[in-house]
Structure 1
Amino acid sequence: MLITTLLPLLARYSLGFDLVAGPDDTVTLTIIPRKVDGAADKLESGETRPISLTASAAEIDAELAKGEDGALGQLIAARKTLADQLAEQRQAAEAARTAAAEAAKTKATTPTPKPATTSAQVHAPASPPADAKAEEPASLW
């Protein structure tokens, strides 16, 4: 049951195991996800966090017998979902980088048009109107 439960993780990671006997007939099983040889993507720290179970050997066997419905199976399914989301985000980020690089390349090779000059220019009056009075503010009407 252990290998069947771990198949979703094995598709993405290489797994290491550590089995330690503890006091009162307890056992600690630690599953350590690692980067698969030849994988291009760097793993996030959350992806490589070990999964650790501490219980009696019978309890661990019973939990593993539950398969996908057990706590380990649910944890592995959640990790797989998160890993899939991370992979999608990496692909989207790479696509965005590529698109931005292409847009910058296109913009750099396309000459920028110069703004058109207008022949009509507005001149501000140099002197106040003839009927303006010094003690009154200027009016537009």
Structure 2
Amino acid sequence: MLITSLLPLLSRYSLGFDLAAGADSSVTLTIMPRKSEGAKNAPSVVELQAISITATPAEIDAELALGEAGALGQLVIARKALGDQLAEQRQQAEAAKTKAKPAPTAAKASSAPAKPEPAKAAAPEPKPGEPASLW
């Protein structure tokens, strides 16, 4: 059940495992995602956070037997969705970088100092009894 639960993560990462016995007959299972060989993008720090479960061996076995419905299965699904979203955002950012190349004329125009506009003549004073003109 453990490997079946972790298959979605194995498509993106290499996984390391650590199994340690506790003092009160508990066991801590730690799953450590790592960058897989030949991966295009380095995983983010969030994606590489270890998953740790501490319980009795029977409780861990029961949790793993739940598969996708269990806490580990749900965590793996959420991690895979996060990884997919991050990969999609990286692709979109790369596509935006290649599309948004500055035009040479725009660079020249923005680097030249702006010419001050000539001062407009002040509106003539209205004659007594007439409203002021807006034009």
Q: Distance in 1 between matches of 2:105 and 2:14?
A: 46
Deviation (angstroms), 1:40:
2.1
User: Could you give the per-residue CA deviations for residues 12-43 of structure 1, whole angstroms, max 9, x where no partner exists?
Assistant: 00000000000111000000000011212121
> Which residue in 2 is equivalent to 1:67?
67
Query: Which ranges in structure 1 are unaligned for 5 or more consecutive residues?
Result: 113-122, 125-136
Q: Distance in 1 between matches of 2:125 and 2:104?
A: 51
Q: Distance in 2 between matches of 1:37 and 1:4?
A: 21
Pairing 1:39–2:42 present: no
> Which residue in 2 is equivalent to 1:86?
86
Query: Which ranges in structure 2 are unaligned for 5 or more consecutive residues?
Result: 109-119, 131-135
Select 1:139's aligned residue among 112, 115, 126: 126
Q: Distance in 2 between matches of 1:85 and 1:138?
A: 65
What is the aligned residue count? 116
Secondary structure at the residue paired with 2:63? helix
Of structures 1 and 2, the larger Rg is shown by 1
Q: Distance in 1 between matches of 2:16 and 2:125?
A: 87
Q: Distance in 2 between matches of 1:7 and 1:138?
A: 83
> Which residue in 2 is equivalent to 1:14?
14
> Which residue in 1 is equivalent to 2:104?
108
Q: Which one-letter code corresponds to 1:98 in the other structure? A: T
Q: Distance in 2 between matches of 1:98 and 1:109?
A: 18
Aligned-pair identity in percent equals 63
Deviation (angstroms), 1:108:
2.0
TM-score by length of 2: 0.78
